[in-house]
Amino acid sequence: MGLRSWLAERFPPKSLGRRGEDVAAKFLKRNGYRILARGHNSRLGELDIIAVDGRTIVFVEVKTRSSTDAGHPADAIDPTKERRMTQAALAYLKSHGLLQHAARFDVVAITWPENARRPTIEHYKNAFSPIGTGQMFS
Q: How many residues does this entry show for the chain?
A: 138
Domain extents in the chain: 14-128
Which CATH code of 3.30.365.10, 3.40.1350.10, 2.40.33.20, 3.40.50.300 fits the domain covering 14-128? 3.40.1350.10
Q: What pTM does this model have?
A: 0.84
Strand pairing partners for 109? 63, 122
* Positions of the chain with pLDDT under 70: 1, 4, 6-14, 132-138
Helix (H, G, I), strand (E, B) or coil at 119: coil
Helix (H, G, I), strand (E, B) or coil at 44: coil
User: Which pLDDT does position 117 carry in this prediction?
Assistant: 85
| Cβ(89)–Cβ(131) below 8 Å | no
